[in-house]
Amino acid sequence: MANNLLAGKKGIIFGALNEDSIAWKVAEKAHEQGAEFILTNAPVAMRMGSMGDLAEKTNSEMVSADATSIEDIENLIKVATDKFGKLDFILHSIGMSVNVRKGIHYTHSNHDYYMKAMDVSAISFHKVMKVAMEKDAMNEWGSILALSYIAAQRVFPDYNDMADAKSLLESIARNFGYHFGAQKKVRVNTISQSPTPTTAGSGVKGFDSFSRYADDNSPLGNATSESCADYCITLFSDFTRYVTMQNLFHDGGFSYTGLSHEVMDKYAK
Ligand SMILES: NC(=O)c1ccc[n+]([C@@H]2O[C@H](COP(=O)([O-])OP(=O)(O)OC[C@H]3O[C@@H](n4cnc5c(N)ncnc54)[C@H](O)[C@@H]3O)[C@@H](O)[C@H]2O)c1
């Protein structure tokens, strides 16, 4: 389905680790729609992941950047703007919690790990936008997106400190979105995606159960990573120019469903 929705648009895509990654699907679809972009990931992910295949497939350059390092982000933005001029879109598709990885309960969080989760999963979004704004790297009507999860609003007990990180991420989108809009006419949003079987998603304890529950409790079922990528493309396109500072649910209706018949039937005596 190539409609050239992103013809002539240039951007940066963070977070394509392997072909399950949401960012991987976004890169494939952005390429299909005529965009050019730099692929970036943390140095360790560039060594261990398979981003090289994606770079080849989408004819993209790869630049390593730890999204918590201002120095790395400055280098990344410089490489991107030297190559493309000003940018039209940035995808922040990054999440990591050491407390989740080590199975440490939320109430026993190690606070060094907790701060790391905030830095990698949320504050990095602020850092990327700060550098992009300071370097005047975005074109007017550009679009910046990050990926979130409904644990920012409602409790999913095993989502752990990532829930706090997502709340912060969404708040950063609103607040930075205000300033980026007012100063540079750039829009900033988060997409709150259904549970999706990726490396980060499957790392959350009980992923299979809450993913199946979400599927049963959504009239349309869980949204796939491919459809999430389609939604990202619309938000990078010129058809959504006045959408900003939003957290947009892309979840098959889960966020507004109290109880589906499918779930109710499971409780019928
Ligand atoms: N999978 C889900 O169920 C789900 C649901 C809603 C939202 N999300 C969000 O989608 C985004 C993408 O995750 P995914 O599910 O595609 O998993 P993924 O594991 O494929 O992607 C996470 C990415 O974050 C990168 N990353 C980690 N630390 C980094 C750092 N310091 N600097 C730069 N990059 C770093 C990883 O290398 C990886 O590429 C995350 O924000 C995640 O929280 C995922």
Q: For atom 11 of ligand 1, which residue has the closest CA? A: 93
pLDDT of residue 2: 77
Q: Does an H or E element contain 12, and which? A: strand 10-14
- The top-level CATH class assigned to 10-266 is alpha beta
Summarised one tens digit per residue, pLDDT across range 191-203 is 999 999 999 998 8
42 lines ligand 1 (CB under 6 A): yes
Residue-range domain boundaries for the chain: 10-266
Best residue among 21, 64, 115, 247 to mutate for probing ligand 1, ranked by most atoms within 8 Å of CB: 21
**Closest to 18 in 3D by CA, of 171, 200, 158:** 200
45 lines ligand 1 (CB under 6 A): yes
Task: Give the whole-angstrom CA distance, residue 148 versus residue 146.
Answer: 7
Q: Which residues lie below 8 Å from residue 7, measured CB to CB, with a gap of 6+?
A: 33, 34, 35
- Banded model confidence at residue 29, pLDDT cuts 50, 70, 90: very high
Predicted structure pTM score: 0.98
pLDDT of residue 34: 98
Q: Exposed, middle or buried, 134 (CB in 10 Å: 0-12/13-18/19+)?
A: exposed
Summarised one tens digit per residue, pLDDT across range 96-115 is 999 999 999 999 999 999 99
- Banded model confidence at residue 77, pLDDT cuts 50, 70, 90: very high
**Closest to 129 in 3D by CA, of 106, 151, 146:** 146
